[in-house]
Chains A and B, each alone.
Chain A
Amino acid sequence: MNYKRTELGSNIGFTSVVDDKFNTCSIRITMITPMSIDTASEYAVANNIISDVNSKLNTIAAMNERLSELYGAGLASSVSNRGDMQILSVSASWLCNRFAIDGEDITGEMLEIITDCIFSPFADENGFNEDIFRLSKKEILDVIDSTFNNKREYTLIKAREIAYKDEPAQFSGYGTRETVEAVTAQSAYKAYKNLLKTAQIEICFVSPEEEERVQEVFREKFSAVERNSRSHVFYSPSPVKAEPVLVQEEYDVRQAKIALNFKYDTDDVDAVHLMCIILGGTPVSKLFMNVREKLSLCYYCTCRMSEFKCSITVDCGVERANIEKATAEISNQLEEIRKGNISDEELQSALLALENSYTSFGDTHDSYFSWYFGCFCRNEYISPQEHFERLLAVTKERIAAAAANVKPDSTYHMLNKEAE
């Protein structure tokens, strides 16, 4: 594997990974901007439009026909949050040229399509094309509506809203239904032009062989953009609430779901990371072994960490009548860690699970994307191996000390109606 990172312009990073075991190429262009409810939906709609069509392939039919001709190449957009930043990405993947039955230059064609999407969207001085805009806006509204179809995901969204109340991270990267409704073809296009100018941009390209032209095309295209961007800091700890907050909502569901938010106040992020794995990150974690296996209260009970917000969320699906019991056991297991009751096996299995995850780096394009984007967000370019060695140095004492700094912040309960 050959890794190279260069700057293409003001706050435009280009990461190139050449790995000859792959038979596909892929690229991810990520725009990073501060999350604001005033602009989030305009950016999100614009980001969706630019991956649907461009000025040459200006209908969904035309774009899909071309991608399908190029051996089913993929082109998609995504929107998310990290810390208090909004992350807007356009990704594409395609079969490398040596598999083209008819000898097409698939990479060349895809490069043209992607750069047209970003630098030549289907718009005029009045904004994005109205037909495409209308479809794209509906698509985003449908995505927002459908989050309630997945009750676990919805529970976590509600938990996030409560945990980060009055902070930019309170909102989803799409904004709210109301802010999406307010977007117009004009406002979305204006926002997009601003985004191209001001966002911090990270491009990651993975291919089985050197493709210098990709970097050069982006360098040239961005040189024509009048940039006025600044670099952003992702680290934005969320303050713990003075008194823990509980929000309960009743729905017509069969199973109750709970999400417990905690906040931590420690710089020892590696210790917090390990603490989360020991608490609820594996099938031998304290939560799995006790809440699920010993007490038979649930099917899943896991713990996740939001590094840039300094928060932790534990969630599980449980009988309404057992919520208190499950909550007590979750708190009890966290308390065990605070007391330093961590067995050698628990620490060892957490480290081995992490090692397994770190050493599988490089087996998929996505693993390259997410590792190098994580490095960018932390502003720390190290290898997975180097990071793992740091985790190896974490002791039980450090984990217990980190856990002592974990405080309850807020809780969300999705309750089933018929249970009472």
Chain B
Amino acid sequence: MSDREIITSKRTGDSCIHVKHKSGLDVYIREMAGFSSVYALFGTKYGSVNTTFKLAADEEYTEVPNGIAHFLEHKLFENEDCGVFELFAKTGAQCNAYTSFDKTCYLFSCTKDYTENLRILLDFVQKPYFTKENVDKEQGIIGQEIRMTNDNPEWRVLFNMLRGMYHSHPVQIDIAGTEDSIAQIDADLLYKCYDTFYNLNNMTLSIAGNIKADEVLAICDEMLRPCEDKGLETVFPDEPDDIVQAEIREKQSVGASIFQFGYKCLPCKEDFLRKEMTASLAVSYLTDASSEMYNRLLSDGIINASFGGEVFAGDGFFTVIFSGESEYPETVKEALITEIKRITDEGINEKIFNRIKKATYGDLVRQLCNVTAAASVMINTHMAGCKPFDVVDIVSELTAEDALSFIRNELLPEKTVLSVIEKI
């Protein structure tokens, strides 16, 4: 029996259970009274950026083709005897998976038989089955997925910006790779990646909703095969602090031109969540819909309600992105640079900052009352090296001075990239 740690938010009273399972897996459980559904995520800290790695016993680093984490995600849905979708179809659960830059998660949502669904989830992710035939078959499906995303201007504008920002970090590579890179993938490479990253010591189970912790843990005991921690090490090529190219434009068949204007910040080595939330509050301050800059740009027809900002960060990369639809992206860029300079010189208005903090607190509290969001928060915060409710505490502790310091030190005009998708 593994030890249970009950984690409770001092501010909201919400709680969840964390167990470091004897198999090596981190398990997060949030029982939510009154809800009918269950949402479970079984994830590995393995995303598109993890293309170079080694285990402690390996002498050399292995380098794999771009898009392989995503390809592996697709292929895990095929068992030796049947497809995983067919197994879930017998219970009625909805199942899916996603690969991001730094994680791959398999998930289901259901309202009944969650114990059976959990067994299926834990079983299929631990049971890879790759053959030449089933790998070849997937090339066509993923090829169409790549073409679909290449027609998505939101996707193109992001990756163009990342290519302008990063010299060598693989965050600039499309998550699904390219049709050429996935053509290099074979069953042996998939097994190599699977054996490296799908070690339970590198994985997390997060489950929330109409569940009982005892039942979840009993299934973990039944289904999880103990894993030896093999000392996984991932590396990234050296990434200079400067950018590659300040502006990238592409013409596409679109109805509205869109842009992303990003600041390359220093990657975060420790206290990730604190830096992420500081940056997030700074972004909210800069894009506040009641600010003078926002309303001037809106009134002049430079931006519309799609204008916003986000923090985009992970292992070895940290970026602040402002984006939206606009026919005048250079004007938005200039306005942001001027506003950041003004704030750097004059400081942050504490009253506005506290109002933004209050709104952020409201958003975080709301998430706790949603089954899907609750499970997602648990796995995301764990993989960011924190506990689920830390984010509420961190936000309440942050000061205007913290946000100002971030803006002054990280949002530097020489580290910006403007990416634009223009109408043909």
Which A residues are CB-close (under 8 A) to B295? 59-61
The answer to whether A68 and B151 have CB atoms under 8 Å apart is no
The answer to whether B150 and A64 have CB atoms under 8 Å apart is no
Cα of A356 to Cα of B108 in the assembled complex, Å? 11
Q: Does B339 contact A (CB under 8 A)?
A: no
Known: A148-B255, A296-B140. A353 touches B111 (CB 8 A): no
The answer to whether A317 and B144 have CB atoms under 8 Å apart is yes
Known: A149-B256, A251-B253, A364-B370. A21 touches B355 (CB 8 A): no
Which B residues are CB-close (under 8 A) to A142? 256, 304, 306, 325
Q: Does A19 contact B (CB under 8 A)?
A: yes
Q: Does B298 contact A (CB under 8 A)?
A: yes
The answer to whether B359 and A292 have CB atoms under 8 Å apart is no
The answer to whether A356 and B92 have CB atoms under 8 Å apart is yes
Q: How many residues of B contact A (CB 8 A)?
A: 71
Cross-chain contact of B366 among A24, A144, A151, A292 (Cβ < 8 A): A24
Cross-chain contact of A135 among B147, B255, B299 (Cβ < 8 A): B299
Mask of B347-384 contacts with A, CB within 8 angstroms, 1/0: 00000000110111111011011110000000000000
Cross-chain contact of B34 among A21, A94, A359 (Cβ < 8 A): A21
Q: Does A39 contact B (CB under 8 A)?
A: no
The answer to whether B366 and A298 have CB atoms under 8 Å apart is no
Shortest C-beta distance, B263 to chain A (Å), equals 23
The answer to whether B362 and A65 have CB atoms under 8 Å apart is no
Q: Does A382 contact B (CB under 8 A)?
A: no
Cα of A114 to Cα of B145 in the assembled complex, Å? 42
Shortest C-beta distance, A273 to chain B (Å), equals 16
The answer to whether A253 and B92 have CB atoms under 8 Å apart is no
Q: Does B93 contact A (CB under 8 A)?
A: yes
Cα of A354 to Cα of B111 in the assembled complex, Å? 11
Known: A23-B366, A147-B255, A254-B151. A283 touches B144 (CB 8 A): no
Residue of A whose beta carbon sits closest to that of B91? A352
The answer to whether B140 and A363 have CB atoms under 8 Å apart is no
The answer to whether B111 and A20 have CB atoms under 8 Å apart is no
The answer to whether B111 and A297 have CB atoms under 8 Å apart is no
Cross-chain contact of B290 among A68, A293, A359 (Cβ < 8 A): A68
The answer to whether A296 and B253 have CB atoms under 8 Å apart is no
Q: Does B94 contact A (CB under 8 A)?
A: yes
The answer to whether B89 and A345 have CB atoms under 8 Å apart is yes
Q: Does B109 contact A (CB under 8 A)?
A: yes
The answer to whether B255 and A69 have CB atoms under 8 Å apart is no
Which B residues are CB-close (under 8 A) to A93? 366
Cross-chain contact of B153 among A94, A149, A288, A349 (Cβ < 8 A): A149
Which A residues are CB-close (under 8 A) to B85? 282-284, 288
Shortest C-beta distance, B180 to chain A (Å), equals 15
Which A residues are CB-close (under 8 A) to B33? 21
Q: Does B12 contact A (CB under 8 A)?
A: yes
The answer to whether B144 and A255 have CB atoms under 8 Å apart is yes
Which B residues are CB-close (under 8 A) to A212? none
Known: A72-B358, A356-B111, A360-B36. A99 touches B290 (CB 8 A): no
Cα of A217 to Cα of B368 in the assembled complex, Å? 30
The answer to whether B94 and A359 have CB atoms under 8 Å apart is no
Cα of A73 to Cα of B360 in the assembled complex, Å? 10
Which A residues are CB-close (under 8 A) to B36? 359-363
Known: A21-B369, A146-B256, A364-B370. A255 touches B290 (CB 8 A): no
Q: Does B330 contact A (CB under 8 A)?
A: no
Which A residues are CB-close (under 8 A) to B355? 65, 68-69
Q: Does B424 contact A (CB under 8 A)?
A: yes
Which B residues are CB-close (under 8 A) to A193? none
Shortest C-beta distance, A32 to chain B (Å), equals 25
Cα of A34 to Cα of B358 in the assembled complex, Å? 41
Known: A23-B369, A283-B85, A296-B137. A72 touches B362 (CB 8 A): yes
Known: A72-B360, A253-B151, A352-B89. A21 touches B111 (CB 8 A): no
Known: A99-B365, A146-B256, A254-B150. A68 touches B89 (CB 8 A): no
The answer to whether B369 and A298 have CB atoms under 8 Å apart is no
Residue of A whose beta carbon sits closest to that of B291? A61
Known: A148-B253, A254-B150. A352 touches B358 (CB 8 A): no
Which B residues are CB-close (under 8 A) to A24? 366, 369
The answer to whether B290 and A64 have CB atoms under 8 Å apart is yes
Shortest C-beta distance, A27 to chain B (Å), equals 15
The answer to whether A317 and B148 have CB atoms under 8 Å apart is yes
Cα of A414 to Cα of B355 in the assembled complex, Å? 47
The answer to whether B256 and A131 have CB atoms under 8 Å apart is no
Of the listed residues A60, A67, A255, A363, the one surrounded by the most CB atoms of chain B closer than 10 A to its CB is A363
Which B residues are CB-close (under 8 A) to A148? 253-256
Cα of A68 to Cα of B351 in the assembled complex, Å? 12
Cross-chain contact of B141 among A95, A254, A298, A345 (Cβ < 8 A): A298
Which B residues are CB-close (under 8 A) to A95? 362, 365-366
Cα of A353 to Cα of B85 in the assembled complex, Å? 12
The answer to whether A353 and B94 have CB atoms under 8 Å apart is yes
The answer to whether B255 and A149 have CB atoms under 8 Å apart is yes
Interface positions, chain B 208-253, Cβ under 8 Å from A, are 209, 252-253
Interface positions, chain B 286-323, Cβ under 8 Å from A, are 288-291, 294-295, 298-299, 301, 304-306
Which B residues are CB-close (under 8 A) to A60? 289-290, 295, 298
Residue of A whose beta carbon sits closest to that of B85? A283
Cross-chain contact of A68 among B35, B37, B110, B358 (Cβ < 8 A): B358
Which A residues are CB-close (under 8 A) to B360? 72
Q: Given contact pairs A21-B32, A154-B255, A296-B139, enumerate 5 new A-B contacts (beta carbons under 8 Å).
A: A146-B256, A254-B147, A255-B151, A299-B142, A359-B36
Could you show 8 A-B contacts with beta carbons less than 8 Å apart? Answer: A60-B289, A65-B290, A72-B359, A283-B85, A351-B92, A352-B91, A356-B110, A361-B36
